[in-house]
Amino acid sequence: MSTVDKYFELVDQHQQKFIETLREVVAIPSVSSDASRRGEVVRMGEWLQARWEALGATCKRVDPGKQDLHGVELDLPPVILGQYGNDANKKTVLVYGHYDVQPALLEDGWDTDPFTLVEMADGRLVGRGSTDDKGPVLGWLLCAETHKQAGLDFPVNLKFCFEGMEESGSEGLDDIIVAEADKWFKGTDVVCISDNYWLGTSKPCLTHGLRGVSYFHLQIEGPGADLHSGVFGGTVHEPMIDLVHLLSTLVDPNGRIKVPGIYDQVMAETEEEQRSYEGLEFSHNALAGDLKRDIIIHSDERMTLKHRWRYPTLSIHGVEGAFYAPGDKTVIPARVRGKFSLRTVPNMEPARVAELVTQYLNAEFAKLGSKNVMKVIETHGGRWWYSSPNHPNFVAAARATERVYGVAPDLTREGGSIPVTLTFEENLGVNVLLLPMGAADDGAHSTNEKIDKRNYIQGIKLLGAYLHEIAVTDLTATTA
């Protein structure tokens, strides 16, 4: 029996024990956005460090400093850096995960206490953090422990980076990655992150792309103070009227961006990409069900995925400075800021996007003939990430997936951003793979967050199988 098969057998034998370990960490309410829970976040980080150290890993606790959380000064939770194994003949894999979780209250609509893991008859393991991201973070630990306890050779040198602030903007993390790139992270061959989800609920996937995001404030300044619409309505240029006119020029109701030049930068589709959409586990029926109303723009499922993954999109988020409360108020707001953002894709450059948006809005504003003052402010310009799914890191993960699930994984991209992906790639200069453990319906940030027992147990196998595949993969092979 091969080492991998032996490992799989042990994982099956230890299922209940692994669920108990998940129960133990779900019970630590490590909510990073809640000042009163900060001690629990730290406790969770210390739990991980202690457990890895007991296994023989070398750990370094990095404290990123102070945070101002709604006026309360708090210590940021530690980033736990680790090194497990240091054999010059083995490859080195860096894994990232986060041990903090989203807030959760029974009153929010949970069926059970969010910090008590409950195993449902249908196989769901329900609890806050079960899938995001405690399950995957445990996956790496349980894999290493299982190998050690059974005397199986661990196939790679493992480095890890576990943070406790992911759900609160990863404050402090980037600086640590930059500082440690040539130190703690030196020698890393590839990176693997398990912190996203399958496209559907039955078929595993590898994720090789993320969109960037450029966020804008469109500010219109009019009078020195808010005005009364009875006195001034119809006699002065109203900032809100200018604003709705400008916002309506950005995008049509079918999501088509009207800013000239935006689509010029979009990477053309290859035949290989075209083929990759075939057989993906994705249905409009399921999507419409999740949305509670069928408000899907496109009739073709592939078009929906393309607009999520490979085309830029523009969303309007809200207005600052106008009347927003329930009820009626007859104010003419003096200064308003429309908030909108573009999701960006290969090969758009954030600076060029900001330039096109600003030029266009200046031209559109000039057409209005308004005497108000308009300003476009780019508040954030984060780049997209795209990796070839033919890179040996992905090929190894695909082989591991086939071995565990008996099926070739879907190749997916995501519409959102996981900024740490790009930070690792840019600072370490190595390939990064996103290898999800959970399914699309896990409800990561919702009530009744769960991971299916199948995904958890097979996921622990998958992470191990991936490390074994990396061990025998030529990472220098040219990508197709």
Strands 92-98 and 157-163: parallel
Residues of the binding site: 98, 132, 167, 195, 228, 330, 343, 417, 445
Alpha-carbon torsion angle 269, 271, 272, 277, nearest 10: 70
Number of residues in contact with Zn ion, rule: CB under 5 A? 3
Q: Kindly give, in sequence order, each residue whose CB lies less than 8 Å from that of residue 212, ignoring residues fewer than 6 positions away.
A: 343, 344, 345, 348, 350, 381, 382, 383, 384, 385, 417
**Residue in 31, 117, 142, 322 binding a copy of itself, rule: CB under 8 A:** 322
Cis peptide before 195 (omega within 30 of 0): no
Least distance between a copy of itself and beta carbon 335 (Å) = 11
Tokens of 332: 């003419």
State both tokens at 468.
């074994």
- The site for a copy of itself, by CB under 8 A, has a size of 79
Q: Which of 240, 400, 422, 470 binds a copy of itself (CB under 8 A)?
A: 240
Rounded least distance, CB 232 to Zn ion, Å: 16
For Zn ion, what does the binding mask look like between residues 216 and 255, x meaning CB under 5 A?
A: ----------------------------------------
User: Which option in Zn ion, a copy of itself, none does residue 132 bind, with CB closer than 5 to 8 A by kind?
Assistant: Zn ion
Can you tell me whether residue 324 is helix, strand or coil?
coil
* Residue whose CB is less far from Zn ion, 163 or 195: 195
297 or 407: whose CB is closer to a copy of itself?
297
- Residues designated catalytic: 100, 166
- Copy the structure tokens of residue 382: 């984060």
Tell me, residue by residue from 347 to 386, as one string, x for binding to a copy of itself by CB under 8 A and - for no binding. Answer: ---------------------xxxxxx-----xx------
Q: Give 148-160 as a DSSP string.
A: HHHTPPP-SEEEE
User: How near is the Cβ of 233 to a copy of itself at its closest, in Å?
Assistant: 4
- By a kind-dependent CB cut-off of 5 to 8 A, residue 222 interacts, out of a copy of itself, Zn ion, none, with a copy of itself
148 binds a copy of itself (CB under 8 A): no
Q: Is the dihedral of CA 162, 167, 171, 177 positive or negative?
A: positive
Question: Residues 113-152 vs Zn ion: string with x where CB under 5 A?
Answer: -------------------xx-------------------
Residue 322 vs residues 199, 236, 319, 362: alpha-carbon distances, Å? 38, 16, 6, 22
Neighbours of 250 (CB within 10 A): 22
Residue numbers at the binding site for Zn ion (CB under 5 A): 132-133, 195
